[in-house]
Amino acid sequence: MSGGYLTGDAPDGGAPDRWAPDGGMRGEVADGGPADGASAGGASAGGASAGGAPPPGEDAEPARLTAWLAGHVQGVGLRWWIRARALELGLVGSAENLEDGRVKVVAEGAVARCRELLALLAGPGTPGRVTGVTQRWDVPRGGLASFTER
């Protein structure tokens, strides 16, 4: 992925990474975590770590990626585009518009495939204009059968 990752400090010791195409910090979030109230806590059970870093281990290990996309991301076909890319990668989950203007993406599948989706989210060819991506990694919760737009 071009640009750079920057990690902020959360009060609980964990933090999501914030990425912007120009390498700068974008999408500052209150309390150092996702604005939708989700925690960006420390290590989770099952070997995956919550926060900005993908879980350690094999690329085939299952993981859960949650990403919040900021910028001109609603009303541009982005959720449909994300669904198509996720299905091509064999991921399950959802993409939904948030009231604050961002798009929230939840994807579960192999770590390597989740990384590929993350790279696509702010890459060239993404509908609209993504100015920042905040990500959180965790263990998969399961119970998802496909990838949906909400």
Q: Catalytic amino acids?
A: 79, 97
Cβ(141)–Cβ(107) below 8 Å = no
**DSSP for 22-53?**
TSS--S--GGGS-TTS----SB-GGG-BSSSS
Asked whether 88 and 116 are in contact (CB, 8 A), the reply is no
Cβ atoms of 28 and 38 within 8 Å: the answer is no
Question: Quick check: helix, strand or coil at residue 81?
Answer: helix
Alpha carbons 24 and 18: distance in angstroms, whole number:
9
